[in-house]
Structure 1
């Protein structure tokens, strides 16, 4: 496998964009995003790629395609984001906070070249509103085996508030993307 080593911590958005730029420069047909804490399983990559080959532009390894979301505070937040995305775009994404996603070539180019496209649920909502084709496959996530989550209860509340405001208000002011080249107008 190939690894991209970054000399400084760029955070989630910066590391994601660096990976997408690498994939873009190398001409990759698909790229996978997954968390480095051990909870995502590589065994789902072939099924995700089959969905890309079938026409999906973004494939999400979802915990909730066939399984119900548990009734926890964290899953309440996930339900709220799912509802907000559906309200804003008309598209239902069952697990918009999943950190395991696969992107097709057009999405690689888009994320590589657009600095204001972080890998967050509000960006997924914007893309869904603009016709990007999503698929979700059922996946199991393991418990974290490395690191600690930055999402404390207070940070989680701030994150939820920011995502909901962005999905329901701010994204409606964002320029629509052109279907062909992935450039904003």
Structure 2
């Protein structure tokens, strides 16, 4: 049975097989979680992201998809980059947000990862309201965990507000 947990902390310090990065479509780093992972992981991550852009994702990684690279200097083995949707009050993009988690777990399973750490995808500059994002994330991870080879799927939450939202969503 897969344990689904939550912790408050820094995702770059998690001792897991794979860390999920809330990336932008360019795969070339940015702010928030993306910038923190690139800074802590070092140039190896950026080099692999550039190679992915040159080989397969010339226009960037599509929203809701996921791809893996080395974790560089992070304690994890891999970084799984996923591009979350920008929140829109006028258009339901929740299927794209759920896809970020499902696709990340599909990639993780293909790598043989047993432990995966997730940030709260799309809740930073992409503006997704935390209670809704937490519900979507937890539901998607629970559903995918039932079919996967995972021992622990961990939500790593940066602050008390995110921690409360994920607790309310059942983690």
Q: What TM-score results when the alignment is normalised by the length of structure 1? A: 0.27
Return the index of the structure with the highest Cα Rg: 1
Q: What TM-score results when the alignment is normalised by the length of structure 2? A: 0.28
Greater helix percent: which structure?
Answer: 1
